[in-house]
Structure 1
Amino acid sequence: MSLISAMNPTAPITDRTQAIAAARSSAVAIFIGVAWGIVTTIYLATAAPALMESAFAEAAQTDPNVAGMEGMAGAMTGFVVIWAGLMVVIQIVLGLVQWFKPNIVIPILFTVLVVFGLGSALLGLMGPSAQSAAAGPMWFTVLGLVVLVVELVLHIAGIRGANAMNKMRAVDQDVF
C-alpha cells in the first residue's frame, strides 16, 4: 500500500506497513500545515500591517479609547509574525516526529486543533466582525478552510493508522 492510498481514511489496514503509511498521513497533513503557515506568515509580514493600521484608524473614529493606539499596529504585527514563525517551527518538529516515530498522540492533538480552527474560521465568517477592515481577502480565507479540511481527513487517517499499529503491537506482545 502506497502512502497515497494510505491517506484514504476509509482504506482497510491489514498489516504493519499499511498502518505505518496511514499513521504517516498525519505527518503529511502537518507538512501541508507548515506550507500554509509559511504562506500565512509571509502574508502577515507584508499585508497585515496596513490592514491593522486601517482597522485601528476606523476603530478610533468610533471609540475614543482606541484613539492614539494606531502606532501599536506595527508592534502587534511583529509579535504575530514571530508567533506564526514559531508555530511553523513547532509543526516541523512534530511532523518529523510523526514521520519517523508514528504515534497516536500527535494526530489526535492536531485533529482537535484543526477542528477548533475550522470552527473558529466558520464562526468568524458569520459574525459581525466578518466585514471588518482587518479581515483578509476572501480567497485567502477559503484557501485556509480547504487546507484545514484536507488536514482533517489526513489526521483521521493518521489516527486510524496509529491505532492499528497499537493493536498490532499488542497482538505481537501477546504472542510472545
Structure 2
Amino acid sequence: MRRFDTDAAPQLIRAARRDAGLTQARLAQRAGVQQPSLAQMESGNRPVSAQMLERILRAADYRPSIPLAAHAAEIVESARAHRLSNPRVFGSVLRGEDTFDSDIDVLVTPDLDADLFDVALFITEVEALTGFPVDAVSDAGVPEALSDAVREAVRL
C-alpha cells in the first residue's frame, strides 16, 4: 500500500512546499529533481509515482500537522462512526515539533459499546487520510505515564 495518495500529489506537493517556505527551485534541488519537472508535478501536468511523491514530501519535511488540519472534520466524523468521541491531538504535532518522520497521537473517549476493532478501524482511516502513522489512546483509565498527554491534548 502506498503511503500518500498520488492522485492528490499536486496539492500535497504545494502544501508541503509552502509550509516549508521553499521555492520550487529549492525543493527540486533538495529532492534531486529538475525544477521544471517539479513544476509539472505540482501543476498536475505530470504523473507522480508513489516513490517520487514520498521523496519530494520528505525533502520538504512534510509534517503530519498539515493533513491533520486539512482533514480534521473527516477525522472527527470517522471517530464518531467508530463510537469514539472527543478526538484530541497531543505530542509533537500539538507542540509544533512534528517532522516527516513523526506520527499523529490522538486521544479519544470510547463509547460504552466501543471495542478495539473500532479503535483499529479509526486508526486505519486516519492513516489513509493523512499518510502518517497514528497512535490512538483511550482516555478511559489513562496510566500515569500518559497523564501529561491528557492534560495537553487539544480537540480537533
Query: What TM-score, normalized to structure 2?
Result: 0.30
Structure having the higher strand fraction is 2
Select the structure with the greater relative contact order (CA < 8 A; seq sep ≥ 6). 1
Structure having the higher helix fraction is 1
